[in-house]
Chains A and B, each alone.
Chain A
Amino acid sequence: MKELQDLARKLLSEGTVKVVIGYEEGPRGARAAFITDPEQADPLIFDTRCVQNLAAYLNPRRKQIATLGKPAVVVKGCDARSVAGLIRENQIARDSVVIIAMQCGGVLENPDVAGELTSEAVSTRCGGCDVCEPKLFDHYIKSATAKTPPVNPKRTEQLAALAKMTPTERWNFWSEEFSRCIRCHACREACPMCFCVQCTAEKGTPLWIDAAATPRANRAWQTMRVLHQAGRCVDCLECERACPEHIPLGLLARYVADSVERRFEYKAGDDPSVPAPMGIYRTDDDEELIR
């Protein structure tokens, strides 16, 4: 990762950026690193354990990072789409961040366990990835070893199983999953696209969603959160990874993203100038549902 470290040293010593947000070796697997001193760029690494979507640290709610000054952020192709999302929705300006995109050959589902990228070990989000060669970047660091990642079929199988269920079975499946939800909102706090200052789930007047972790409130909370990610979620699965209860939130996110792609031919992509689908319309959108 010498090329990455040299680039970080150059950017920091030139003063182009004040902090480089990348990955470093942590006590247990890779973790986020915030390099502000050019001399300390050596810890920067990039390998299959670098799962975390570092674009989350560009979320304007993170005051303690905004005070560090202009950042450079190390992203994979899929993470770069979160940066595009933040730019698309005017949360950060394109020139306020330097994007260092890495060529990526897929990452592990469970980063704590290093190992070979088999079709069981690879993350479910890497299947069918079309941004091994990222499209949005200021600096692009190639990798000799990166090749198209194997496909982890787990999520597609789960989605297929859910499709075959009757509505009541699906209802019971999600009631069972949401019964474990404790409303810590880690899914929201870890998501790069959840940047509302006052989340509806915390509004008291009117109290749309109860604060308690009751079945009724948990279901309303997840329904609203996933709806608000329609056409904005880049499928980085940080919500699922942050959940201390291991609720398969990725299924909800993937299903809505597929529905948006099917109905409006839109995929949360790399081009910030393409507007988000739920904020625009086409007069000839289909009316199949409208009686």
Chain B
Amino acid sequence: MTQRFLSHADLTALVAELVAAKTRVIAPVRAKDDPEQLDYSPIQKLEEATFGTRLPRRSMKEFFLPVTEVLLRYQQTKEGVEIKATPTEAPPIVIFSATPCDASGLDVVDKVMSWDYQDELWFGRRKAATVVSFLCTAMDAVCFCTAVGLGPDSIQGSDVLLVPVEGGYLANVITPKGEALLKGKGKAEVPAGAEASAAAAQGEARKKVEANLPKIPAEFASWLAKNFDHPLWKTISLRCHGCGACASVCPTCHCFDIVDEHDSSTEGARRRNWDSCQTSKFTLHASGHNPRGSQNERFRQRIQHKFSIYPTKFGEILCTGCGRCARTCPGGMDLPTIIGELMTLAKTQPEGSSL
């Protein structure tokens, strides 16, 4: 990992250069319907972007796993059916990630998308994208990235991490893609004291988040698996609507549905759409049987998949602690509080429930 110094002007010039080269540049932009909120949107100039105030409403995953995406188009002809699959090459794109927790979501989901079968639609876009993250200064009481082993300065999933210092940014260049992006930009030697002030800013940001939730112990995953039938699951999600809004704003929720639709009587498309295990139809069998018939089982699946199944299978917690699910939940389900309660319960009942 090498370091460079980028002044604000260097960054503005970089964006201008990228836009001139027809590379799409995405950054957090104030939303038209509510200027308080931010959305990841294309920008032409750096000034249109806003950094460091808060997290955008939706995570960056939609640039890699779109809300809806055509997998193939079909056309019925006299001889039979012709299909055209969606190409997996993607145009180059540079994404300014508001915080490391968004960028690290990509790296977490990479694990399942490369499990034996390479999801080339996902990886086509990942290869074409360069992710530039900023040190997070927008944490609030709901953030818990340090609890899942990340942090306001974590580099997972980012190609460059910019830490604000006096007069500009200390750019930590992490991957070859980051190097290619910043080649010849700003200055290679870092001004005196910049590193120290960066480290101080990182430490201070980390301390603020650590207060929200202690680090999740490694054995939490196996405790959850052992307590699959614990009575707590019957009462933990009574106020949950089962609406799935949490899964839609989550940087690591990657479940999808594959559905065909018609554009005319002979033509149509097979689409991949966002889906969520919180919806009642997610596991409904054609026979009418539903292994997860009520919201208790569905919310248990959300916790088990994120904090037990995914860590067991892929070695990563399927959560970056960004807190969006808690902020957006209309029913007041607060994931950090719930995980906190479960962790204390795990301490008091290490052996799990005697049902």
A interface list, Cβ under 8 A from B: 26-32, 34, 52, 56-57, 61-65, 67-68, 176-177, 180, 182-186, 188-190, 202, 207, 210-214, 217, 238, 241-246, 248
Set B141, B142, B326, B330: member contacting A190, Cβ < 8 A:
B330
Instruction: Give Cα distance in the complex from A238 to B33, angstroms.
Output: 19
Is B245 within 8 A of A212, CB to CB? no
Is B33 within 8 A of A64, CB to CB? no
Set A52, A186, A188, A248: member contacting B332, Cβ < 8 A:
A52
B334 at the interface (CB under 8 A from A): yes
Instruction: Give Cα distance in the complex from A188 to B68, angstroms.
Output: 20
Instruction: Give Cα distance in the complex from A181 to B58, angstroms.
Output: 12
Closest to B234 in A: A64
Residues B320-350 near A (CB distance < 8 A): 326-328, 330-332, 334, 336-337
B301 at the interface (CB under 8 A from A): no
Task: Using known A-B contacts A26-B332, A28-B141, A64-B296, determine if residue A213 contacts B68 with beta carbons closer than 8 Å.
Answer: yes
Is B330 within 8 A of A186, CB to CB? yes
The bracket for how many chain B residues form the interface is: 35 or more
Is A31 within 8 A of B331, CB to CB? yes
Is B259 within 8 A of A211, CB to CB? yes
Interface residue stretch chosen among B15-23, B102-110, B192-200, B269-277: B269-277
What are 29 pairs between A and B in contact, CB < 8 Å? A27-B336, A27-B337, A29-B332, A31-B332, A64-B234, A65-B238, A183-B67, A184-B247, A184-B274, A185-B244, A186-B241, A188-B243, A189-B242, A202-B281, A207-B261, A211-B257, A211-B259, A211-B273, A212-B68, A213-B68, A213-B273, A214-B68, A242-B245, A243-B245, A244-B57, A244-B248, A244-B249, A246-B34, A246-B57
Instruction: Give Cα distance in the complex from A247 to B276, angstroms.
Output: 20
Inside 8 A of A184's CB, which chain B residues have their CB? 243-245, 247-248, 274, 276
- Secondary structure class of chain B's binding surface, majority of residues: loop
Closest to B334 in A: A27
Is A246 within 8 A of B326, CB to CB? no
Task: Using known A-B contacts A184-B274, A244-B57, determine if residue A64 contacts B248 with beta carbons closer than 8 Å.
Answer: no
Is A185 within 8 A of B279, CB to CB? yes
Inside 8 A of A212's CB, which chain B residues have their CB? 68, 259, 261, 271, 273
The CB with the most chain B CB atoms within 10 A, among A176, A202, A214, is that of A214
Inside 8 A of A189's CB, which chain B residues have their CB? 241-244, 279
Nearest-neighbour CB distance to chain A for B338, whole angstroms, equals: 10
Known: A64-B237, A64-B296, A190-B331. 13 other contacts (CB 8 A): A27-B141, A28-B141, A67-B294, A184-B245, A185-B243, A186-B245, A186-B330, A189-B241, A210-B259, A211-B257, A212-B261, A217-B261, A242-B243
